Amino acid sequence: MAKTKITGNYLRKATNEDGNMEITFEISNYHYKRFCEELQKKVYTLEIGEVKSKRSINQNNYLWALIHEITRHPNASSDNDWDMYCILLSMADAKYEYMVCLVEALETIKQEVRALQVLGYESRENGTKWARCKVFIGSSKMNKEEMCKLIDKTLYYAEQLGIDTVYYRDVLR
């Protein structure tokens, strides 16, 4: 299982019959839920800190919900949330860097940088296969203006597919 950070709302704490503390967090983000479903009964490392963000967590959750709705549409450019996210970042002219890496390293790199778009592949003289990638900074590092541009492009894209965005316009503004 890949290491990830999860944002959740603290709900309560209690002491169980063994005298150990149990802490409950509410997880509402689609991607976090999917990650949590993979948890097994074993020991995990936890890091708890207060979220300090330039935009609200709810706004980010709604953006991802809209991206998920877009990927379910049959005419979307991708049926994968992360790939669609990269397409939308590209449409919004989000900051990026180009990178070349071994094809075998792609999955590891995707876990670390999250917003990575593979542009193509090439073979080298020694027989190794390489991937040319565009690595975006991602919305968590965006300022307000950059985030607004991403939201606008996402809403526009959804509307072009015929998705009703009235609700999303309300919660994303």
**Which pLDDT score, from 0 to 100, does residue 55 have?**
58
d(C-alpha 141, C-alpha 130), whole Å: 28
Closest CA to 147 of 165, 171, 129, 173: 173
Closest to 29 measured CA to CA, from 51, 46, 1? 51
Task: Give pLDDT, residue 163.
Answer: 94
Q: Which two tokens stand for residue 134?
A: 């565009």
Tell me what pLDDT residue 47 has: 84
Does the predicted model carry a pTM greater than 0.75? no
What pLDDT sits at residue 167? Answer: 84
* Spans of the chain below 70 pLDDT: 1-2, 51-57
